[in-house]
């Protein structure tokens, strides 16, 4: 049975943006934005959740918060492509307690933190 996202997750999900970011260390990856725009990002995330392809955003945010202290200011939901393989990725942007911005890339299916980078 698939858990439905809690209202807090839906509010946070409203922050999801679809912007393409070139990040060091993932140059070999390509994010597919052909049919993406920020107005439909939450729809793709909800559909992927209903199909069981990704973990709920609230769960992923709890995992990220446990390992990376800071205030979540934005979340992006993107399809990362590497050759024929692809996966969904949550990009979580946080403001650290020291005021610096950090981006954390999380495999949306496993919840594994793939990488993080300071801005």
45-68: per-residue pLDDT in tens?
889 999 999 999 999 999 999 999
pLDDT of amino acid 35? 45
pLDDT tens digits in sequence order for the chain, 119 residues long: 555 544 444 444 434 332 223 333 333 344 444 444 555 678 888 899 999 999 999 999 999 999 999 999 999 999 998 888 899 999 999 999 999 999 999 999 999 999 999 87
Exposure string for 51-80, b = 16+ CB within 10 A, e = fewer: eeebbbbbebbebbeeeeebebeebbbbbb
């Amino acid at each position: 049975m698939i858990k439905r996202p809690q209202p807090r997750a839906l509010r946070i999900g409203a922050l999801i943006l679809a912007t393409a970011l070139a990040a060091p260390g993932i140059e070999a990856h390509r994010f597919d934005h052909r049919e993406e725009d920020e107005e439909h990002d939450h729809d793709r995330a909800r559909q992927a959740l209903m199909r069981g392809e990704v973990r709920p955003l609230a769960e992923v945010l709890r995992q990220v918060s446990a390992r990376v202290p800071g205030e979540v200011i934005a979340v992006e939901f993107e399809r990362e492509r590497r050759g024929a393989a692809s996966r969904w990725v949550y990009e979580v942007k946080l403001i650290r307690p020291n005021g610096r911005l950090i981006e954390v890339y999380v495999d949306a299916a496993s919840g594994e933190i793939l990488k993080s980078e300071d801005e």
